[in-house]
Amino acid sequence: MFFLGHMAWAYIWAVAFAGKGWRRLFAPAVFVLAVLPDLDLFLWDFGVEHHTFMHSLFFWLVLFVPFLAVYRLRVIPYFVAVVQHFAFGDFLVGEVMLFWPFSFSYFGLNTVMMSVFDVGLEVGGLLLAFGIMYFNSDLRRLLSVKRNNVWMFFPFLALVASMLFFAVDLPILPLVYHIGQSRLFAGIVLGHLVLVGLLAVSAFQGLRKLGDSF
Ligand SMILES: [Zn+2]
């Protein structure tokens, strides 16, 4: 799955698990956590394979224990944001070492990226996420001149980086040249542009607020 789907579905799952606390949900953190397991792409040089321990429940549970101890239930939506990356996204589109270190087997439906299923899931997720953001007013909040929105710069950077070179399995850039050839390419590229646009405008609005305070 591309960062597009990971981020969109992280938002959906986090809101679902936040329950009444969705108003306090810090969207920039949700979007960053959504793609954090793919940091293992940078560990390739150290002999770490993609979709292994950083895509396991146990690894993230251990990392989250201190936060769970301090912030209790408020941490759950953020934990869900990171876990859905591999227990939902990469599980449906790919396969992961879900139960490392107890099992070194890969689990997942192992469907392929850029399939109708994958693109439908990613673009559908984006539409659903936008729908939720619209109705719970997150969209208005994220697009208004608020200092907190400056943090959207980090997910913006992650998404742009994934589009340029380190996208989960293939960079988005070559796909741009085929946009006219296939609806699937067009859908996935346009989806990326819409999300990157939202993150960029939000971060820019945050910067405006920061600028005002000087
Ligand atoms: Zn992944």
How many A from CA of 171 to the centre of ligand 1? 14
Spatial distance between the Cα atoms of 110 and 42, rounded to a whole number of angstroms:
22
Q: Token pair for residue 69?
A: 């101890």
Measured in Å, residue 204 CA sits from the centre of ligand 1 at 28
DSSP state of 93: S
CA–centroid distance, 57 to ligand 1, in Å, is 13
C-alpha pair distances (Å), 167 with each of 7, 163, 173, 174, 200: 13, 6, 9, 11, 18
pTM to 2 decimal places? 0.93
| Ligand 1 center–CA 112 separation, angstroms | 13
* Distance from the alpha carbon of residue 85 to the mean position of ligand 1, in angstroms: 6
pLDDT tens digits along 49-102? 889 999 999 999 999 999 999 998 899 999 999 999 999 999 999 999 999 999
Q: pLDDT of 182-205, one tens digit each?
A: 888 889 889 999 999 999 999 999
Q: For residues 149-172, give the mean pLDDT.
A: 80
Supply the pLDDT for residue 177: 66
The CA-based angle 31-32-37, given to 5 degrees, is 115
CA of 209 to the centre of ligand 1 (A): 34
**Residue 135: burial class (beta carbons within 10 Å; 0-12, 13-18, 19+):** exposed
Nearest to 192 by CA among 162, 170, 165, 169: 162
**Where does residue 99 rank: exposed (0-12), middle (13-18), buried (19+ CB within 10 A)?**
middle
Over the stretch 138-148, which tens digit does the pLDDT of each residue have? Answer: 999 999 999 99
CA of 207 to the centre of ligand 1 (A): 30
Q: How many angstroms does the Cα of residue 60 sit away from the middle of ligand 1? A: 13
